[in-house]
Structure 1
Amino acid sequence: MKVPKAGAVAAVTLLVLAASGCAGDSEKPKLTIGIKFDQPGLGLRESGGKFSGFDVDVARYVAKELGYEPDRIEFKQVYSSDREVMLQYNEVEFVVASYSINEKRKAQVDFAGPYFTAHQDLMMRASETGINKPEDLNSKTLCSVTGSTSAENVRSKLAPKAGILELGGYSECVFALKDSTLDAITTDDAILAGFAAQAGNQGKFKLAGLKLSDEKYGIGVKKGDEELRTKINAALRKMVQDGSWDRFVQANFGAAGYKPQAAPPISEGS
């Protein structure tokens, strides 16, 4: 048997190590982030697979601070009704999806943030004149999304006699509003402004301008994952301090004429 020279052995060893290193890089898992796919201005999957919106920009910024470039991010669609389940079963690492922080949700998941303040409002057809205050909703039919806080707020506080149609997504509510199946859509003003500003919708709808609630958006993480929550909070603070938050607001809401409140302070107890 011919014994290879030491130099040849070393060369082979280096090649093996290099190959294994390349394989490790290619097999590095992607960061999976839950977002909405049907909310223009916040989280939208456009034709061709491109993602846009304020939440998308925030998610990418946070991911970069965690060490992930855009090509290492995988966006996964979440619905209002399944965000907690997606986190609990590790389907996503975190959720950036107009996710209002409240006590019921905090019992199931933890939140970084808040990073945005929205207000529950109404969107109706531009010709609508019969909705001027919350009490007017008692004789109206509204649409919201299953699992959102908006429908519950109407039922329990604002207009207990209102008819409420809960659908799977806000796009479905918009179609129903166009068809005069209902009188208004109720959810956060940031979401409604995005739909009102979409091409094809401009001039057809209007927002009531009623601040029916304060909605603090947070980034949802799995319950007990304090390390990830702390890192995301640090990224959010940096995002505000370096001016990125303001740039994201202008890029995504400027055309709609929607002006949100200033960035809220990040709370360690979210």
Structure 2
Amino acid sequence: MRVGRTLGAALVLAAALAGCGTGGGAKSVAGKDTLVVGVSKDQPGLGQRQPDGTFKGFDIDVASYIGAHMEKTPKKVVFKVVQYSEREKAVQTGKVDLVVSSYSITPERKTKIAFAGPYYVAHQDTLVRRSDTAIHNVRDLSGRRLCAVNGSVSWQRVTVERNVPAHLVQAATYGDCLTKLTDNSLDAISTDDLILAGFALENNAVRFVNAPISDERYGVGIRQDDVTGCEDINKAITEMYLDGTAAKLLTKWFGKTDLKLTTTVPQFEGCG
């Protein structure tokens, strides 16, 4: 009996240890047949929900490519809308497996989740009304009404890092920011140039300032303990650049803008 109990306890312990690894097996996204990916719903060119419920954009195509090119087996990808302020929690709680949503890698976010990639390095710029010719750079936002999206750090790069005394106008999403900009409820949106490029393509009433102030490394949000999944995603991203798909997707979504697009493999964060 003692041998039986000892063997039983050993088997339970082995099973527990197997579940506490660095992301291999069933707990890793690498071992799943279907990936639930958190995305934005109102970012033209990046992640936008269509009237029929499908999603389109660069982030959507990147997520689909990753799912199809992960090492073990191609994945079915299901998209789920995740608000900016909910992205870390959605990964931590398992609401989504990954987040691909113009998700800049920051030290603060890395205390909560991990990042594969980056899959692109964007640059923060500013969008204003075309009729507003007085704003030429971030310093000109002093005293102006600047959009602040809950969960985004972009506005902090203006008011905190550069100490520009702008008046913050709260918004839930960057789509809301655009609405407020065009109806004169605020004066500027300062965030990643790919986000702004999508808005500019759809709305001739706004213009780029074309004065970038930072690098924004777009990462794939993933659970902190899923090293296997992170490494698998990095391999897929590398392949996406080497086979020319990244260049094609960037041209597809942003080729009609005046943005200078980068088509070389970004320097990865590293997993684990």
Q: TM-score band (shorter)?
A: 0.7 to 0.9
Residue 12 of structure 1 is matched in structure 2 by none
Question: Does the Cα contact within 8 Å between 1:117 and 1:263 map onto a contact in 2?
Answer: no
Unpaired runs of at least 5, structure 2: 1-31
Query: Offset at 1:249?
Result: 0.5
1:105 to 106, 109, 128: 109
2:194 to 185, 190, 194: 190
Q: Which residue type is aligned with residue 145 of structure 2? A: T
CA 1:266–1:133: 2 relative to 1, 3 Å: closer
Q: How does 1:123-142 map to 2 (within 5 A)?
A: 123-142=127-146
Runs (4+) of structure 1 exceeding 6 A deviation are none
Aligned-partner Cα distance in 1 for 2:143–2:269? 42
Residue 17 of structure 2 is matched in structure 1 by none
Question: Does the Cα contact within 8 Å between 2:122 and 2:193 map onto a contact in 1?
Answer: yes
1:205 aligns with 2:212: no
TM-score, scaled to structure 1: 0.84
CA 1:166–1:260: 2 relative to 1, 3 Å: farther
Residue 261 of structure 1 is matched in structure 2 by 262
Question: Does the Cα contact within 8 Å between 1:36 and 1:78 map onto a contact in 2?
Answer: yes
Aligned-partner Cα distance in 1 for 2:174–2:147? 8
Q: Which residue type is aligned with residue 167 of structure 2? A: G
1:152 to 149, 156, 172: 156
Aligned-partner Cα distance in 1 for 2:260–2:188? 22
Query: Offset at 1:266?
Result: 3.9
The aligned length equals 238
CA 1:256–1:50: 2 relative to 1, 3 Å: farther
CA 1:99–1:263: 2 relative to 1, 3 Å: farther
1:212-267 Cα shifts (integer Å, max 9, x gaps) = 11101111101111010010000000111000001110111123343322334342
CA 1:47–1:58: 2 relative to 1, 3 Å: same
Query: Offset at 1:30?
Result: 2.9
Unpaired runs of at least 5, structure 1: 1-27
Aligned-partner Cα distance in 2 for 1:131–1:95? 33
Residue 33 of structure 1 is matched in structure 2 by 37
Question: Does the Cα contact within 8 Å between 2:143 and 2:165 map onto a contact in 1?
Answer: yes
1:48 aligns with 2:49: no
Query: Offset at 1:133?
Result: 2.5
Residue 215 of structure 2 is matched in structure 1 by 214
Residue 78 of structure 1 is matched in structure 2 by 82
CA 1:162–1:60: 2 relative to 1, 3 Å: same
Residue 178 of structure 1 is matched in structure 2 by 182
Residue 238 of structure 1 is matched in structure 2 by 239
Query: Offset at 1:174?
Result: 0.9
Q: Which is greater in Rg?
A: 1
Cα RMSD (Å) of the superposition?
Answer: 1.6
Question: Does the Cα contact within 8 Å between 2:99 and 2:221 map onto a contact in 1?
Answer: yes
Aligned-partner Cα distance in 2 for 1:238–1:169? 32
Q: Identity of counterpart residues, as a percentage?
A: 40
Residue 252 of structure 1 is matched in structure 2 by 253
